[in-house]
Amino acid sequence: MGAAMTKTPPKTFHVKSFGCQMNVYDGERMAELLAADGLTATADAAGADLVVLNTCHIREKATEKVYSDIGRLRKDDPAKMIAVAGCVAQAEGEEIVRRAKVDVVVGPQAYHNLPRLVSDAVKGEAALDTDMPPLSKFDALPARRKVGPTAFLTVQEGCDKFCTYCVVPYTRGAETSRPFAEIVDEARALVDAGAREITLLGQNVNAWSDGDGRGLHDLIRALDRVEGLARIRYTTSHPNDMTQGLIDAHRDVEKLMPFLHLPVQSGSDRVLRAMNRSHTRDSYLRVIDRVRAARPDIALSGDFIVGFPGETEAEFAETLSIVAAVGHAQAFSFKYSPRPGTPAATMEGQIAAEVMDERLQRLQAAINRDQLAFNQALVGRHCDVLIERRGKQPGQMLGKSPWLQSVHLETSAPIGTMVSVELGHAGPNSLTAREISAERASVAAA
């Protein structure tokens, strides 16, 4: 940004999002914002005058990827405008401008200012905004127009939990909830724009509260009444914010899908304490029992970190045993990555890379075993599949079961239709199914 040189205003843009679903949502909103400003979206970064890299800072690899992407883009086309958005923008700010030639830096709470920042950059002016005014971006964003059958809706942002390994509280700021009515309005707009399934998003989505005693379950019950909306999901949740109201919603609300992503991170109480997770192995398992009592078929998902500083082989074995105790339908597992500025980065007992690799392999083998078992247990079961896209074979479509499994089936039902099926062959990552009946086209198009 140093050189006060004017640039040609961009006519086309491409937004590339990394990281979590909240970033995907932000990327969609930035694209809508730039389109409303008169720019045209391109299918890839190569063809765009302006590339927005919507970045993730969660692990070192994610951050380094940003710099290699900038380098590649610059090499291919030195005139291209590059904007860095997302969590790396928030965490590194000016540092990005020092390390790489970029035109705009914009944080996750300030991206409603993107069009102005782009025109500042065109004039050769500094274009950096990493202010964190909570929620004000939502008021400044254009209305939702056209979306696919499944849509994300951010309802809560930020995190106050400060797990000792995690950058999110620093990159996304304090826990804040969007107002009830605004969320219901956006859900209606998404349904009008084509959504049949909405996933409510937040770094701690189950901490959503309107400050007046209403919690996420009240929001879910309100969305249950939105006509045309067929499915509700939410992610990602913290074990300590799993209220009885939310658990009961899994028993009572038909549109709420039987799926829960509830990261536990480790099975060892000593490691959980060092992580500042504020739940124990036991309290986690008790929550799972209550959830299963409300919804016996629920698909459970989670996140795990292996090789947290000081993790012994015996403590890692406790992670394997909690995996066996829960029986996940799916789960994500990561090698611990020290993040600058977080307490764990300077803790003693950092674990060697080879040890982490080996533990990760054992953990993933256990998770894969449970995932396959979960899928196999559903063979022969009847359920609905929401068609999301075309499959690889002619006549084949791809959709999702209520338990969030990918399902391949032969059907003439178009994208956005709910098809009732019998589940057939189960693999580790997907199932096949036989169509029993599809919604009438008029319903699907509604």
Site for ligand SF4 in 14-43 (CB under 6 A): none
Shortest approach of ligand SF4 to residue 25 CB, angstroms? 16
Residue 334's binding partner, choosing from ligand SAH, ligand F3S, ligand SF4, none, with beta-carbon cut-off 5 to 8 A by kind? ligand SAH
Residue 162's binding partner, choosing from ligand F3S, ligand SF4, ligand SAH, none, with beta-carbon cut-off 5 to 8 A by kind? ligand SF4
Instruction: Compute the distance between CA of residue 418 and CA of residue 423 in angstroms, rounded to an integer.
Output: 14
Residue 328's binding partner, choosing from ligand F3S, ligand SF4, ligand SAH, none, with beta-carbon cut-off 5 to 8 A by kind? none
Q: In what side-by-side order are the strands of the sheet with 150-154?
A: 150-154, 197-201, 231-235
Q: Does 215 bind ligand SAH (CB under 6 A)?
A: no
Site for ligand SF4 in 101-160 (CB under 6 A): 159
Shortest approach of ligand F3S to residue 262 CB, angstroms? 17
Our CB check for ligand F3S shows the closer of 167 and 431 to be 167
Residue 23's binding partner, choosing from ligand F3S, ligand SF4, ligand SAH, none, with beta-carbon cut-off 5 to 8 A by kind? ligand F3S
Among 127, 166, 216, 351, binds ligand SAH (CB under 6 A): 166
Residues annotated in a binding site for [4Fe-4S] cluster? 20, 56, 87, 159, 163, 166
Q: Does 204 bind ligand SAH (CB under 6 A)?
A: yes
Site for ligand SAH in 233-252 (CB under 6 A): 236, 238
Q: Which residues of the shown chain bind ligand F3S in the complex (CB under 6 A)?
A: 19-20, 22-23, 56-58, 86-87, 167-168, 171-172, 203
Q: By CB under 6 A, name the binding residues for ligand SF4.
A: 159, 161-163, 166, 168-169, 203-204, 238
